[in-house]
Amino acid sequence: MIELPQRFIERIREQLGPEAEAFIGTYDEPRTQGLRLNPLKLGGPATGANGHESFRDELIRRFGLTPVPWCRDGYYYDEATKPGKHPYHQAGLYYIQEPSAMSAAELLDVQPGELVLDLAAAPGGKTTQIAGALAGRGLLVSNDIHPARAKILSENVERFGIANAVVTNASPDELAAKFSGAFDKIMLDAPCSGEGMFRKDPEAILEWSPDHVRMCAARQLDILDSAARLLKPGGTLAYSTCTFNREENEEALERFVERYPAFSVVRTERIWPHRHKGEGHFVALLRRQTDEEPASTAATSGRRDERCRRTDPADRSVREAMKLAEAMLRDVVPGFDLPAGEPVLFGEQLYWLPSVPGFPLRARDLNGLRTLRPGLHLAHVKKDRAEPAHSLAMAISTRQARSVASFDADGPEAGAYWRGETVPAPDGVNGWTAVAVDGYPIGWAKASGGQLKNHLPKGLRRPG
């Protein structure tokens, strides 16, 4: 039984009137659990004869999935099936996400090819959803201010197989100073007092107070200030919170629109747990009008990053690294085409930053920003060769790899691979081999002498 703060109950009664008791009653019910299937790996729900529908059906059956009405790829799952612990989770076939939280990215309605910013993105629920909507075209800048959370975000971007995302660890202000007026769409899933998370995260109850709500609202306005500067004229901003009070939602936006008359609120939506099957969420769509001068876009100045990152494609070391990587790509993933873009060399790590036609976000603009992932991680570059990066395995389909070893997800070979062990090589595989579970890549191995030498990164290996 959850004990709610008295002041919170009073405020809810003021806000909801006669509905308040039904709302308070939801705290005696179990919280809702959800997952979102990954269209980058599984295709869309009705994509015809590409072989994925049957696998979607398999996931639906295995995890007892039932659709979330407001999200195309969203499902409630049967808790007993524990999808978060299944190898398919590590294969990036879905993202565990509370169903209400799926509403914000749906409302933002991202289209393939757009330049999108997810300003407070960790651990990556909205980012993975937006990347699905981009369908590999355009670019997503995914940011979080907290270093440890940005690292988890970057890992989720990798697991989901997202090839067109840059992951940064910056303050909204730092980004606004660099990318003024650059983005078609911005997602701001703001840090909030978390009233909608009380069933999921009892710590949020302990932290809650009217003063905390006030502090959150002030912080939200600060972040909105930066979002206003980052959005292109004519662009749209989704603002969302997982809290119910008006101070952090409607009132924060009223104050914002007063301060920035070029913005208007197009639509707001609320998910209440006594009306919908979800924990609770607020989302608003705002539009920046077009009839103003576009601000100057992506800045090129900025101090160089402390670590040695080479972003000039004409730089000799970048050219040489790219030559080695191209040879590796031709050999290891002959079916994989690099989109238009440019290489970024970060020590021995080579990334590929896709370009978006007409948008000025170039690799050099990332100088001076803490960047965890400047695009798709392609390769580890050694003196005379390039080895495929784990991210590359996660971003390809088995059809694109020259050599593939696909194992049953629940079988002993997959288990041994997850533990970091050497696995007997199936007939016909040689050299760099994409290891897959049920046809979905999970990492690399190098085949020789009938064995697959394990190249799963140590941090991803699982005991048992």
Helices marked H in 231-278 — which ranges? Answer: 250-259
Q: How far apart are CB 143 and ligand SAM at their closest, in Å?
A: 8
Q: How far apart are CB 323 and ligand SAM at their closest, in Å?
A: 38
For ligand SAM, the closer of residues 119 and 386 by Cβ is 119
For residues 341 and 297, what is the distance between their CA atoms, to the nearest angstrom?
18
| Pairing mode, strands 431-437 and 404-407 | parallel
Q: How far apart are CB 416 and ligand SAM at their closest, in Å?
A: 32
Phi, psi angle pair for 420, to nearest 5°: 90, 15
The one-letter amino acid at 311: T
For ligand SAM, the closer of residues 121 and 405 by Cβ is 121
Binding residues for S-adenosyl-L-methionine: 120-126, 144, 189
Residues 6 or more apart whose CB falls under 8 angstroms from that of 249 comprise 241, 243, 268, 282, 284
Q: Which residues are known to be catalytic?
A: 242
Q: What angle do CA 107, 112, 113 make, to 5 degrees?
A: 120
Residues 6 or more apart whose CB falls under 8 angstroms from that of 324 comprise 379, 381, 384, 385, 386
For ligand SAM, the closer of residues 172 and 343 by Cβ is 172
Binding residues: 120-126, 144, 189
For ligand SAM, the closer of residues 108 and 223 by Cβ is 223
The half-sphere exposure of 262 on its side-chain side, counting CA atoms within 13 A, is: 19
- Crossing angle of helices 250-259 and 210-230, rounded to 10°: 40
3-state secondary structure of 381: strand
Phi, psi angle pair for 337, to nearest 5°: -105, 130
Q: How far apart are CB 95 and ligand SAM at their closest, in Å?
A: 9
Residues 6 or more apart whose CB falls under 8 angstroms from that of 72 comprise 44, 45, 106
In whole angstroms, how large is the CA radius of gyration of the chain?
23
Residues 6 or more apart whose CB falls under 8 angstroms from that of 257 comprise 263, 264, 265, 286
Q: Which pair of structure tokens corresponds to residue 424?
A: 């007997």
For ligand SAM, the closer of residues 172 and 443 by Cβ is 172
For residues 87 and 437, what is the distance between their CA atoms, to the nearest angstrom?
8
Q: How far apart are CB 150 and ligand SAM at their closest, in Å?
A: 8
Point out the residue whose Cβ comes nearest to ligand SAM. 125
The one-letter amino acid at 433: T
For ligand SAM, the closer of residues 128 and 311 by Cβ is 128
For residues 119 and 227, what is the distance between their CA atoms, to the nearest angstrom?
8
For ligand SAM, the closer of residues 223 and 322 by Cβ is 223
Give the footprint of ligand SAM on this chain (CB under 6 A). 101, 120-126, 144-146, 149, 172, 189, 191, 219, 223
Q: How far apart are CB 464 and ligand SAM at their closest, in Å?
A: 28
The sign one gets for the Cα dihedral 41, 44, 48, 54 is positive
Furthest C-alpha separation in the chain: 73
Residue with tokens 């009070």: 245
Would you call the peptide bond into 45 cis, given omega within 30 degrees of 0 as the criterion? no
Q: How far apart are CB 123 and ligand SAM at their closest, in Å?
A: 5
